Structure 1
Amino acid sequence: MTFHLSTRSLNNLIHVHPDLIGVVELAIQKTPVDFCVTEGLRSPERQARLVKAGASKTLKSRHLTGHAVDLAAIVDGKIRWDWPLYFKIAEAMKAAAKEENVSIVWGGDWKMKDGPHFELSRKVYPATRSV
């Protein structure tokens, strides 16, 4: 089955770095698990609120520059947070990134796991605003 990004997901990709958009758009065609883009570019105010609420650990998020996206698995029309789903999404994202020759990092590979988070590699993509 081939999935497609919803209008909301496409809107959440506005101001995200074009290379990461390309990876997400290809990954949705490759994934065995449907997903949506819950967040792309964030304002500093939103990031500060997320840190205060404990939903983020940093004020230097790649979301602030459009170099990161959060994806959520969708099963039977509902968002799901089951870890096995995110491994499958990550496989599709990594395969798409390889095909597009884009260096990405998955938050699920970090010591402090963040399964929905994908970002462009800091080594290849500087932390400057992309928009």
Structure 2
Amino acid sequence: MMVTNSAANGFQFSRRSEQKLRSLHPALVQVAQLALRKSRVDFTIISSRRTLDEQRQLVATGKSQTLNSRHLKGEALDFVPLDPTTGKGRFDRGLAIEVAAAFMDAGQEQGCPVKWGGMWQGFEDIPHIEMMKTKQANPARASG
């Protein structure tokens, strides 16, 4: 069951983001919900689980480098920060760092550590968050 996330920071997932979250591993959903509450920057989910055909297209266009993406298992998502002045999605590294920090903090707190693609060497994937290991995910540690 998806619960609309309303936090002290006033951020809430859009219906589209909530729909994308439904296809993800439950532990990653919990991390995303907590990250939204913790983040100083609002964000939206732009990609979640993918089909192999979708992944092939992304590799063919150079937007991904692997056919073995965690997106195929619902263990990864892509986000875009929302510009604080316009409320529109903006691929801004500084804003993305704020969101990624909230994800990493939330992952540690939930017992489901995540990696941010913006820290990768060689192929920087700024919108990408993925679970480090599925076996570390602990859906029982839900925060609400």
Q: What is the TM-score of this pair, normalised by structure 2?
A: 0.82
Is there any run of 5+ residues in structure 1 with no aligned partner, and where? 126-131
Where do residues 4-15 of structure 1 align in structure 2 (5 Å cutoff)? 4-15=12-23
Paired position in structure 2 for 1:88: 98
By percentage of residues, which structure has more strand? 1
Paired position in structure 2 for 1:121: 132
Paired position in structure 2 for 1:102: 112
Where do residues 25-44 of structure 1 align in structure 2 (5 Å cutoff)? 25-44=33-52
Q: Deviations 1:19-43 (Å, cap 9, x if unpaired)?
A: 0000000111111111000011000
Q: Deviations 1:38-78 (Å, cap 9, x if unpaired)?
A: 01100011101111111111111100010000011111221
Higher relative contact order (CA 8 A, sep 6+): 1
Q: Deviations 1:2-28 (Å, cap 9, x if unpaired)?
A: 311111001011220000000000111
Cα distance in 1 between the residues matched to 2:103 and 2:114: 8
Instruction: Give 1:79's match in structure 2, choosing from 72, 81, 89.
Output: 89
Cα distance in 2 between the residues matched to 1:52 and 1:94: 30
Is there any run of 5+ residues in structure 2 with no aligned partner, and where? 1-8, 137-144
Number of matched residues?
126
4+ runs deviating over 3 angstroms: 122-125
Cα distance in 2 between the residues matched to 1:123 and 1:108: 21
Matching residue's letter, 1:86 = A
Cα distance, 1:115 vs. partner?
A: 1.2
Cα distance in 2 between the residues matched to 1:123 and 1:102: 8
Contact in 2 for aligned 1:33/1:74 (Cα 8 Å): yes
Cα distance in 1 between the residues matched to 2:75 and 2:132: 8
Alpha-carbon spacing, 1:74–1:123, altered in 2? closer, same or farther (3 Å)? same
Q: What is the TM-score of this pair, normalised by structure 1?
A: 0.90
